[in-house]
Chains A and B, each alone.
Chain A
Amino acid sequence: MARHVAGPEIERLIQFLGKLPGLGPRSARRAALHLIKKKETLLGPLTRAMAGAYDTVGVCTVCGNVDTIEPCTLCRDTSRDGSVLVVVEDVGDLWALERAAALDARYHVLGGVLSPLDGIGPSDLAIASLLERCRAGTVREVVLAVNATVEGQTTAHYITDQLAHLAEAEGVAITVTRLAHGVPVGGELDYLDDGTLAQAMRARTRI
């Protein structure tokens, strides 16, 4: 039987830290020790920050982003272009696009993609609320910023179909665009996979 080297509180701390992405049992032990050593300057503020986040964080009912205010900071931001709606799979994708600062638009988080393997169908995603936002009339362009996977692109085509139905049935004309697929910045052709290269060649542009 393994002998405990610390009390149950510390063992529990290590156990929960070990559940975080990127941390295994060893690194969780190191992180816990670091927190304990810096009890006043790190553990205390971290505990208060986590408790504050736990009390206030929630999912935005408009876009599906996570924030401590409702609607979220991005939805409240009046300087954003409300006519462009960027559809993403997950909050992590939204944060990545915001980091890139490529488009000053509004977002909609689907909460996943259609995946028969995981039993995720259209009703499990925030597609109905997306159509509702489009019905409101301010959206002119929907950018489908989903992952370049078969599941992601199947979801993109499904949403495109739904928006086409919306246009037919209710006269809501919306331009649907998607992210380009191809050579990443800094990518060397020799090291790219065949699929990406073929996509890049098909999507070549005039210089």
Chain B
Amino acid sequence: MEWTDVGLVLGARRLGEADALVELMTVAHGRHLGVVKGGRSQRRAAGLQVGNSVRAVWRARLDEHVGTFAVETLDARGAALMADPLGLNAVQTLAAHFRLLPERDPHPDLLYAALAILARLDDPGPAAARLVRFELAVIEALGFGLDLTTCALTGTSDDLAWVSPATGRAAGRAAGLPWADRLLALPAFLVAAPIEAARDESPPLADLLAGFRLTGHFLARHVWEARGIDPPATREGFLAALARVGAKARA
């Protein structure tokens, strides 16, 4: 068995004394593990940092084997992120979200969305907006998609402002007002534009945090709690770094 694909490094752990077991999110082969011979050497380890883009050749005798990767670094962005808490937490959060997906299940749209986030980490607002959308897409890919297009109470698509924490369906501002204390806020940027049209949006910090509260609720409800895992600490770190950037911008 042999294939070549490009992908994002999600993690690498030591295997024996010299090798590394590397986890990639590839375009056509999804989240895939493989052994990199000599992956713990100083030179190879630098290319296997989380967030790096690589071209990988996977070889194994049988498809169900872990197999080996021959890896060539295409973009060593992991090193560039090291000084930036926002970027570091973002890339680790993306990796944690990819790990929620089944192994060897391709999700090219999610991979491209993640690469787009990593490409815009110099501008926290748009990067954070994309991360919220990425989390919505992960929730959908896992089979728990939210309906943020029409009001569950009136059937209209105007002035949507709430989401039911139980059903994941949107509600209009006026229609949902009597239950406002029990509903999750739906930030305007998630209603206004689809993913493709929202490339450079920079919503207010309050809207971004409301977006993360929304996705965090459904990730916890459907995924983290159901699987008995903790939310990634790096997601909290990202939100803290985002809040600091927002506070600095206001000052």
Contact = CB atoms under 8 A, between A and B. Distances in A.
Interface of A: 21-22, 114-119, 121-122, 148-151, 153-154, 157-158, 160-161, 181, 191, 193-196, 198-199, 202
Contact of B91 (A118, A119, A150): A150
Contact of B82 (A115, A153, A194): A153
A116 B232 contact: yes
A124 B241 CA distance: 22
B224 to A, nearest CB: 12
A150 B78 contact: yes
A22 B16 CA distance: 9
A116 B229 CA distance: 11
For chain A, what secondary structure do more than half of its interface residues adopt (helix, strand, loop), or is it mixed? helix
Given A148-B79, A195-B79, 7 more contacts: A22-B17, A117-B13, A149-B49, A151-B92, A154-B88, A154-B237, A199-B80
Nearest to A150: B50
A151 to B, nearest CB: 7
B66 interface: no
A151 B51 CA distance: 11
Contacts, number: 91
Categorize the interface residue count of chain B: 35 or more
Contacts of A158: 233, 237
B80 A195 contact: yes
B15 interface: no
A195 B44 CA distance: 11
A158 B78 CA distance: 17
Contact of A117 (B11, B73, B83, B89): B11
18 contacts: A21-B17, A114-B233, A115-B13, A116-B232, A116-B233, A117-B11, A148-B79, A150-B88, A151-B50, A153-B88, A154-B89, A154-B234, A158-B237, A160-B85, A193-B46, A195-B49, A195-B80, A198-B80
